[in-house]
Chain A
């Protein structure tokens, strides 16, 4: 049963530290999304890639967040420096282009910045 995997599942860090979250999309899926979920804002799209190229990262604070896809099996989201307001659950999702927008979500990384 193919699934999106994310690591780490939980991360607690101090303000100012760098945080890196990783995602392995489902094999054969060429579109990858990064979302952030909080109680206040709900699920927000941060960035997404198609065939490893960034298509839209307008939802992401550019001064501290960066997203990359070094290869087709790995997507990363980095926060440097982290701030308490970055505390949230970060989800990665992947989609096979042409599959009627069927996104498959990973289990998320719960980030707490103290």
Chain B
């Protein structure tokens, strides 16, 4: 059972379109992260959010942490082929004293030229 549910599982769009992927849970997280993973490589950290309602921007990527710290979203504006990859969210539960991250199953994003 995944503690973190990501949706959609797969997303295919044309270059220039916008997209949003979601990460939801019934648990409260003290910290939540987004990673991008390309084929044959390990995940690469994009952002860490820790405050409910927090919004962070990284060029064309906008990350939002829900007010209740149970959910998050990643929005990409004007997607490019280089944005193709598996997007993973990972969270540390508020009740976890060791700071151990649990990962969602991921959203596979394909951006075609």
Where the two chains meet, the residues of A that have a C-beta atom closer than 8 Å to any C-beta of B are 4, 35, 42-45, 48, 55-56, 91, 93, 100-108
Name the residue on B nearest A105 (C-beta): B42
Is chain B's interface secondary structure helix, strand, loop, or mixed overall? Answer: loop
Instruction: Identify which of B18-26, B74-82, B96-104 touches chain A.
Output: B96-104
Contact call B98/A55, Cβ cutoff below 8 A: yes
State in angstroms the CA–CA spacing of A92 and B37 once bound together: 14
State in angstroms the CA–CA spacing of A48 and B99 once bound together: 11
Q: A55-B98, A105-B44 are in contact. List 14 more A-B contacts (CB 8 A).
A: A42-B104, A43-B103, A45-B102, A48-B100, A56-B98, A56-B100, A100-B48, A100-B50, A101-B33, A102-B45, A102-B48, A104-B45, A107-B40, A108-B40
Where the two chains meet, the residues of B that have a C-beta atom closer than 8 Å to any C-beta of A are 2, 31, 33, 40-45, 48, 50, 88, 92, 98-106
Residues of B within 8 Å of A4, CB to CB, are 42
State in angstroms the CA–CA spacing of A8 and B43 once bound together: 18
Residues of B within 8 Å of A55, CB to CB, are 98
Residue pairs across A and B with Cβ atoms less than 8 A apart, 10 shown, are: A4-B42, A42-B106, A43-B88, A43-B103, A56-B98, A101-B33, A101-B101, A102-B45, A105-B44, A107-B40
Residues of A within 8 Å of B106, CB to CB, are 42-43
Residues of B within 8 Å of A101, CB to CB, are 31, 33, 48, 92, 99, 101
Residues of B within 8 Å of A48, CB to CB, are 100
